[in-house]
Amino acid sequence: LVLEYIIGTASVARAFSSYLDTMTGNVMADTLKEIMPIRVSFLSSYPDFLSLGIVLVLTALLAWGVRESALMNNIFTAFNLLTVITVIIAGLFKVNASNWSIPKSAIPKDVRGGEGGFLPFGISGVMAGAAKCFFGFVGFDCVATTGEEAKILKGIYP
Residue 156: its H or E element? helix 153-156
Closest CA to 32 of 17, 19, 48: 48
Q: Any idea where the domains of the chain sit in the sequence?
A: 1-64, 66-95, 99-158
Whether pLDDT at 117 is above 70: no
Asked whether the beta carbons of 100 and 88 are under 8 A apart, the reply is no
Whether pLDDT at 61 is above 90: no
| Sign of the torsion angle spanned by Cα atoms 21, 8, 55, 49 | negative
- pLDDT mean across residues, the chain: 80
| pLDDT given for residue 42 in this prediction | 84
- What is the CA angle 100-106-112, rounded to 5? 90
| pLDDT given for residue 116 in this prediction | 62
Residues in the chain: 158
Query: Model confidence over 10-43: pLDDT tens digits?
Result: 888 898 899 999 999 999 999 999 999 999 888 8
| pLDDT given for residue 135 in this prediction | 66
| Sign of the torsion angle spanned by Cα atoms 129, 131, 82, 26 | negative
pTM for this entry: 0.51
Which of 35-39, 58-62, 99-103 comes out lowest in average pLDDT?
Answer: 99-103
| pLDDT given for residue 141 in this prediction | 65
Residue 18: its H or E element? helix 2-23
Asked whether the beta carbons of 135 and 8 are under 8 A apart, the reply is yes
Closest CA to 4 of 149, 134, 146, 144: 134
